[in-house]
Structure 1
Amino acid sequence: MAKTAFTCDQIFDGHAMHGNAAILVEDGVCLGVVKQDAVPAGVSVEAVAAWCLSPGFVDLQVNGGGGAQFNDQVNVDGIATICAGHARYGTTSVMVTLITDTADCSRRAVEAAIAAQAANVPGFLGLHLEGPHLSLAKKGAHSADLVRPMTVADLDFLIEAKSKLNHLMMTLAPESVTEAQVRALSGAGVRISLGHSACDAETAKRYTEAGACMVTHLFNAMSPLDHRTPGLAAAALLDARLMTGIIPDGIHVHPDMMRIALRAMGGPRMFAVTDAMATIGTDMTSFDLNGRKILRENGRLTLADGTLAGADIDMAACVKNLHELVGLPLEDALAMATSIPALALGVDDVGRLTQGSRADIVAIDQQFGVRLLPVA
């Protein structure tokens, strides 16, 4: 198949920004980024009118989108609707997320994920189970009636699920799982993220040694920074073995706290997640979750008592906020939506535009409007 070179004034390859460059693509695979004057002879050149080209965004926590909430549409069609809903905003790799639900719903979620993987649903990367093995003290919008400790049967089910899924991620709290269970899950290839937990920093360290490698939505639904009793948030900032998601909607975390966290963490360990719900890409004003109404107003999603219930933001808007509200250079903001979440999940063919990666390319304008480039 003929090679194509997509040219633009700025191209971010997942690691660095390149000026006056071109992305070489063949058969849906990236061959690398080169200077425009280094495009080989005979290659078809397509100039893209955009502020910047970037790898497609990678989102490890997506509860819904396009009008579908995964808990309520636990099937391949639901997964396809959610992925398509986020593709409109530049996200080409989605970890579809099930919020705490019944054991039967978790089973159906795994079955749907296996079927979606087999069907090569566009944008579907894998399954994220956020609960039900969480802390009641830090349950947030998760239903208290459904939060429960992990059993032997749960562990066996999850290890079997991972044997059939390329990518399975779980948010767990030390209060509801043992170190041995985390060790077994991690050993089976499940990516373990600590979250919805009131654990202290020392406990978080032990569970990291057992195999946890991530922290879910930093600062939210966890033991906070405290000058005498450092909690899970402190562990996330200080432990180089942990990567952490954060919701940069300006509501879940103040921009100053994001700046503090980024400085404390040093290297590329923090990535953006939307924690998005069904509302993305729709004019919905409310929806139901586990029999409770979630209200949408002024960029917030809340239960009737005001508890935040996921986020009403897409990944393009997250990148915009990271750049304009937090003040990150564009390439750093883009990395938090591309290569860093890919690194956290342990995948190397998405979130970057380097040799051998998938040619998922997003064109971004200066208002952070996005469009996916049609790549053969």
Structure 2
Amino acid sequence: MKQLLRRARIFDGKVFHENKALGLIDDQIDAILEEPVNLSDWDEVHDLDGLILCPGFIDVQVNGGGGVMINGQTDLDGLKIMAEAHRAYGTTTMLPTLISDELSAMRHVAVLTKEALALSAEEKGDNSIGSVKGVHFEGPYLNPERKGVHKKEILRGVDEEALALYSDPSLGIRLVTVAPEIAGVDFISALNERNVLTCAGHSAGSFDEITNALKNGLRGFTHLFNAMTPLNSREPGVVGAALHDEESWCGLIVDGYHVHPATLEVAIKAKPKGKMMLVTDAMASVGAKDKSFDLYGQTIVAVDGKCQTKTGTLAGSDLDMIGAVRNCVEMLNLPLSEALRMASLYPAQFMKQGANLGSVGPGLIADLVAFDMQSWNVAHSWIGGQHQKH
């Protein structure tokens, strides 16, 4: 099917295009076209009436949404609900994220991920489940000293069963968060050899330990600043290693709660451009009327966009991707172009998917978002060329 997207400000991942149109053929982008375009040449024409049209947002850390958590033996219908909830906020690619859990739960999520990928291939994007491109296992090979909301009794050392689980290529894009001082560099190296992405998180590691992990395949850092050793004068810690290294990526939760805006501004300036990416760390409350949910048998409540336990421990976020982009512009004073790259291009490159996702150009997958910058509402999205109006 041929679709024409007209009268939008098109952001291609680098620059904005005015008075242009975008052509889609089936699941791919065909070309950015000069106006006027012969409308009779197209099967569908979408008049976007001045909206910003940009690459779909990519979120590599999504714990829940629409009232559903990945933890808790979620089924395929639950994952569909979660994907649909985040699509309404511009997420066209996501990695459902399992917070540290037993091996049986990890295996269940692995099976669920395969089912989602199979359904997406069968329906060819005719469902929001097409946003699921893989899976993120956040733990359980983390440091109890920096556990955050993760359950201490579940945290443990690595084993061969974990390596086998993570190594399955039929899971799509695989991301694993570990504490390098717990998992060890041999484990990180083994995952790297199997094309599994690894990030440091929930770590009490030293600067030297993290630097050594980076040399052995560590690719990035999960929610920079949160649940990791801070940057100090004589021990740079995990944060110092992350900002010092020029090749790795850092996930940032820009909700105004997890990290102070000034700290985020300093970090973004310190890291080479292209290495800071937005993540939501979203919980079940995103896109749900009920702002309370269960994790490990305890109630988590989202109030004013902040998710926490009854004792005040941060427990993920109530953040969505269009909200993260808005906060980058309004809270951090970043140009919209850079905020959009942090939401699409940079995470695509982190996932080694820059040739397919994160930009607008001929031959790329037609994952797109159209939104109103005044209200910051997402009006349209496309996943694999399949359109949905919001």
Give the TM-score taking structure 2 as reference length: 0.91
> Cα deviation per residue 1:175-226 (whole Å; 9 max; x = unaligned)?
3211111111110011001111011222111111111101000111111111
1:238 to partner: Cα distance: 1.7
> Cα deviation per residue 1:131-173 (whole Å; 9 max; x = unaligned)?
00001111101000111111223223322xx332221100000
Partner residue, 1:98: 98
> Cα deviation per residue 1:62-121 (whole Å; 9 max; x = unaligned)?
000011001024332222111111011111111000000111101111111111111113
Partner residue, 2:124: none
Whole-angstrom CA distance in 2 between matches of 1:18 and 1:201 = 43
Whole-angstrom CA distance in 2 between matches of 1:35 and 1:326 = 34
Whole-angstrom CA distance in 2 between matches of 1:288 and 1:4 = 42
Q: Which amino acid aligns with 1:21?
A: K
1:246 to partner: Cα distance: 0.4
Secondary structure in structure 1 of the residue aligned to 2:198: strand
Partner residue, 1:367: 375
Partner residue, 2:345: 339
Q: Is the 8 A contact 2:67 2:293 kept in 1?
A: no
More displaced, 182-191 or 363-372? 363-372
Secondary structure in structure 1 of the residue aligned to 2:145: helix
Q: Is the 8 A contact 2:148 2:202 kept in 1?
A: yes
Q: Which amino acid aligns with 2:274?
A: P
Moved over 3 A (4+): 39-46, 373-376
Q: Please state if 1:196 is matched with 2:202.
A: yes
Once the two structures are aligned, what percentage of the paired residues are identical?
36
Secondary structure in structure 2 of the residue aligned to 1:313: coil
Where does 1:7-156 land on structure 2 (aligned, <5 Å)? 7-37=6-36, 39=37, 43-44=41-42, 46-120=46-120, 121-156=129-164
Whole-angstrom CA distance in 2 between matches of 1:92 and 1:266 = 26
Match of 1:296 among 298, 302, 311: 302
Secondary structure in structure 1 of the residue aligned to 2:61: strand
Give the TM-score taking structure 1 as reference length: 0.95
Secondary structure in structure 1 of the residue aligned to 2:325: helix
Q: Is the 8 A contact 2:73 2:105 kept in 1?
A: no
Q: Which amino acid aligns with 2:223?
A: H
Whole-angstrom CA distance in 1 between matches of 2:96 and 2:187 = 23
CA RMSD, Structure 1 to Structure 2 (Å)? 1.6
Q: Which amino acid aligns with 1:352?
A: S
Match of 1:212 among 218, 239, 246: 218
Match of 1:275 among 264, 274, 281: 281
Q: Is the 8 A contact 1:89 1:370 kept in 2?
A: yes
1:43 to partner: Cα distance: 3.6
1:373 to partner: Cα distance: 4.1
Secondary structure in structure 2 of the residue aligned to 1:316: helix
> Unaligned stretches of 5+ in structure 1?
none
Q: Which amino acid aligns with 1:107?
A: R
Q: Is the 8 A contact 2:179 2:200 kept in 1?
A: yes
Secondary structure in structure 1 of the residue aligned to 2:343: coil
Q: Please state if 1:168 is matched with 2:174.
A: yes
Q: Which amino acid aligns with 1:364?
A: F
Whole-angstrom CA distance in 2 between matches of 1:271 and 1:304 = 30
Q: Is the 8 A contact 1:68 1:82 kept in 2?
A: yes
Q: Is the 8 A contact 1:167 1:190 kept in 2?
A: yes
Match of 1:262 among 256, 268, 271: 268
Partner residue, 1:179: 185
Secondary structure in structure 2 of the residue aligned to 1:175: helix
1:4 to partner: Cα distance: 3.1
> Unaligned stretches of 5+ in structure 2?
121-128
Whole-angstrom CA distance in 1 between matches of 2:171 and 2:96 = 13
Match of 2:360 among 317, 332, 353: 353
Q: Is the 8 A contact 2:73 2:108 kept in 1?
A: no
1:15 to partner: Cα distance: 2.5
Aligned residues between the structures:
372
**Inter-CA distance 34–203: structure 2 relative to 1 (3 Å threshold):** farther
Q: Which amino acid aligns with 1:301?
A: C
Partner residue, 1:249: 255
Whole-angstrom CA distance in 1 between matches of 2:3 and 2:110 = 38
1:304 to partner: Cα distance: 1.6
